C-alpha cells in the first residue's frame, strides 16, 4: 500500500499475528548483524581444548591475528594425536631413552644445627703465671700462625723464677765439680769416704733443683736454647741481663682462628684465667638436633650432605662422629655431632647449617633419571618412545626421591622413557601445536 506521494505506507502488525517463519528470519538477520558489528568471528569449538578464534580487525589481512588477544594454551592428555611427534620432527641423534628400573626410593632426612669448633683441635690459652698484661697482640677473628705472640705479660713471679734458675745452674756446676774432685781423691785416701758421699748427694740435689727450675720456665714457653745460653758458665753478662726480665711473650700453641679473647692491657690476671681460645679451623664440628623418627636412621660414621646458610656452592661431605645417648628434655631431640674438612676456612664457628641424609624408603618403586620430567603448559609428564615416534604422557603425580630420580607408576614398567633430549622434544611439540606456549616452564 502506498501514500499519495508514492512512498510505501507501513502497516503495523501485532506480534501475536507474526508468522513463525518471519520470526526465525528476523533472528538470523539480527545475529549476523551483531557478528559484523562486534568485529569478531563467532567462536566455534569442536573440542574443549581448541583455541579461541582469531580476532581480525577491520583492514587486516586474512589470517592475521590481533596482537591484543592471546590464545589459550591447549591442555595435553597424552591420547590426542597432537601429543605425538614423529621421529622426523626431532633430532633423534641427541635423544636417548631407557626403561624404568625397580628399586628403593631414597627419602631425605634433614637435620638443623650450628657449626662449632673442633674441640680436639682447639686450645685455651692462659698466662700460666700471675702478672699484669703489658700489651695485647691478637684479637678475635684473626688467623694466626703457630708461635705468633698473643700478649706480653709483666710478671714479678717470672722474674723470681728466672733468678732461681740462674742460681740453681751455678750451684749445680759448683757441687758437680766438688763431687768430681772427691771421686779423684777417694782412691788416694786424700778424702774420707763420708765426705765424698756428702759431695755426691749435694751434687745430685743441686742437679734436681736446676732441672726443676728449668722445667718451670719451659712450661711458661721459654725455649731450651734461651735457657742453655743464659745458664752457660761462660755466658756474657749482656746475655744474662737480657734474660733476667719480668716480661713474657705468650705465643699461640697452634695455627688457627682466634675465637675468644678475655683480656685488656693493664689488667692483672691469674695463672689459671682463660685469656684466648684458638682453634685449628681446617676441620670443624657441627652439632645438630635429630627427632626420634630421624634418630632411628642415624649410624656412626654415616656420610651426610652439608649446607651452610649464607654460603653458596658445594660443601665437603660430613661424617657422624658421635650420636649422644641422652634426649634433651626441652626439645625432645638427640644431639648429633658431625665432623668435616674446612679447606680455605670458608666456614666459621657459629654459622647455621643443615645436614641431609638419604635413607631407603623401605618399598620398591619404578625409577628413572629425574631429567625425564618436564612441564608443558602447566602439565607435568614424560616423553615415551613408541615405534617411530614419541608421545608426551602427563603424570597425575610427579615425585622425585632423595637422589633426584623420578618415581613412576607401575603402568609405565617396561616403557621406554626419554631421559636425554627432553627439551628438544618439548620445543618441537610446542612449535607444532597450535596455541602452544613456547615459554612454558621446563621441569628440569
**Distance spanning both ends of the chain, measured CA to CA:** 79
pLDDT in tens, 215-251: 999 999 999 999 999 999 999 999 999 999 999 999 9
pLDDT in tens, 50-103: 333 344 344 343 444 444 333 444 555 555 555 677 766 666 668 899 999 999
- Check residues 343 and 158 and name the one with the higher pLDDT: 158
At residue 321, the pLDDT reads 95
Write down the architecture of domain 124-277 according to CATH.
Beta Barrel (2.40)
pLDDT in tens, 296-338: 888 889 889 899 998 888 888 899 999 998 888 888 899 999 9
At residue 165, the pLDDT reads 96
pLDDT in tens, 386-415: 888 899 999 988 888 888 899 999 999 999
Domain 279-360: give its CATH code. Answer: 2.40.30.170
Cβ(354)–Cβ(363) under 8 Å?
no
33's CB contacts (< 8 A; 6+ apart) are none
Find, among 123, 111, 117, the residue nearest to 351 by Cα.
117
The rounded percent of the chain whose pLDDT value lies above 70 is 77
Cβ(269)–Cβ(128) under 8 Å?
no
Chain position carrying cell 615425585: 399
Asked whether residue 266 carries a pLDDT value surpassing 50, the answer given is: yes
The residues facing 274 across adjacent strands are 126
Average pLDDT of the residues of the chain: 81
Domain 81-104+364-432: give its CATH code. Answer: 2.40.420.20
CA-CA distance, 325 to 139, in Å (whole number)? 37
41's CB contacts (< 8 A; 6+ apart) are 35, 53, 54, 55, 56
- 156-185 vs 224-231: helix axis angle to the nearest 10? 60
Question: In this structure, what DSSP letter does residue 336 have?
Answer: E
At residue 67, the pLDDT reads 41
pLDDT in tens, 174-212: 999 999 999 888 888 777 888 989 999 999 999 999 999
| 326 phi and psi angles, rounded to 5 deg | -100, 150
Burial, 416: exposed, middle or buried (Cβ in 10 Å; 0-12, 13-18, 19+)?
middle
CA-CA distance, 131 to 136, in Å (whole number)? 14
At residue 80, the pLDDT reads 57
Edge to edge, the sheet with strand 406-408 lists 101-103, 365-368, 406-408, 399-400
Domain ranges of the chain: 1-72, 81-104+364-432, 124-277, 279-360
Reduced to 3 states (helix: H, G, I; strand: E, B; else coil), residue 57 is: coil
- Check residues 24 and 182 and name the one with the higher pLDDT: 182
Amino acid at each position: 500500500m502506498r501514500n499519495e506521494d508514492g512512498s510505501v505506507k507501513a502497516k503495523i502488525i501485532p506480534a501475536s499475528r507474526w508468522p513463525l517463519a518471519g520470526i526465525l528470519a528476523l533472528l538470523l538477520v539480527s545475529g549476523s548483524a551483531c557478528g559484523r558489528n562486534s568485529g569478531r568471528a563467532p567462536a566455534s569449538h569442536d573440542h574443549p581444548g581448541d583455541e579461541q578464534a582469531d580476532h581480525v580487525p577491520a583492514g587486516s589481512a586474512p589470517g592475521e591475528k590481533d596482537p591484543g588477544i592471546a590464545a589459550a594454551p591447549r591442555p595435553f592428555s597424552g591420547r590426542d594425536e597432537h601429543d605425538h611427534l614423529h621421529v622426523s620432527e626431532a633430532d633423534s641423534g641427541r635423544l636417548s631413552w631407557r626403561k624404568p628400573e625397580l628399586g628403593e626410593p631414597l627419602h631425605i632426612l634433614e637435620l638443623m644445627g650450628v657449626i662449632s669448633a673442633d674441640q680436639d683441635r682447639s686450645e685455651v690459652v692462659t698466662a700460666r703465671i700471675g702478672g699484669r698484661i703489658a700489651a695485647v697482640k691478637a684479637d678475635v677473628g684473626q688467623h694466626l700462625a703457630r708461635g705468633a705472640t698473643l700478649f706480653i705479660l709483666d710478671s714479678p713471679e717470672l722474674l723470681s723464677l728466672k733468678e732461681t734458675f740462674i742460681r740453681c745452674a751455678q750451684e749445680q756446676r759448683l757441687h758437680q765439680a766438688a763431687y768430681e774432685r772427691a771421686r779423684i781423691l777417694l782412691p788416694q785416701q786424700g778424702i774420707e769416704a763420708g765426705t765424698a758421699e756428702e759431695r755426691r748427694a749435694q751434687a745430685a740435689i743441686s742437679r734436681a733443683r736446676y732441672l726443676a727450675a728449668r722445667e718451670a720456665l719451659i712450661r711458661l714457653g721459654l725455649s731450651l736454647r734461651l735457657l742453655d745460653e743464659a745458664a752457660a758458665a761462660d755466658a756474657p753478662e749482656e746475655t744474662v741481663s737480657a734474660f733476667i726480665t719480668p716480661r713474657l711473650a705468650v705465643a699461640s700453641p697452634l695455627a688457627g682462628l682466634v675465637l675468644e679473647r678475655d683480656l685488656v692491657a693493664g689488667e692483672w690476671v691469674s695463672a689459671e684465667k682463660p685469656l684466648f681460645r684458638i682453634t685449628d679451623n681446617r676441620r670443624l664440628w657441627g652439632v645438630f638436633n635429630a627427632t626420634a623418627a630421624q634418630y632411628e636412621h642415624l649410624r656412626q660414621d654415616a656420610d651426610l650432605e652439608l649446607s651452610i646458610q649464607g654460603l653458596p656452592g658445594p660443601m665437603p661431605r660430613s661424617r657422624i662422629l658421635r650420636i649422644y645417648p641422652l634426649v634433651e628434655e626441652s626439645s625432645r631431640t638427640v644431639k648429633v655431632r658431625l665432623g668435616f674438612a674446612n679447606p680455605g676456612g670458608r666456614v666459621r664457628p657459629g654459622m647455621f647449617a643443615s645436614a641431609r641424609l638419604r635413607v631407603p624408603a623401605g618399598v620398591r618403586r619404578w625409577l628413572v633419571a629425574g631429567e625425564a620430567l618436564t612441564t608443558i603448559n602447566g602439565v607435568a609428564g614424560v616423553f615415551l618412545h613408541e615405534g617411530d615416534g614419541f608421545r608426551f604422557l602427563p603424570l597425575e603425580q610427579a615425585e622425585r626421591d632423595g637422589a633426584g630420580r623420578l618415581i613412576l607408576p607401575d603402568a609405565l614398567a617396561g616403557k621406554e622413557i626419554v631421559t636425554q633430549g627432553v627439551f628438544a622434544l618439548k620445543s618441537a611439540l610446542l612449535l607444532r601445536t597450535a596455541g602452544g606456549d613456547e615459554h612454558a616452564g621446563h621441569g628440569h
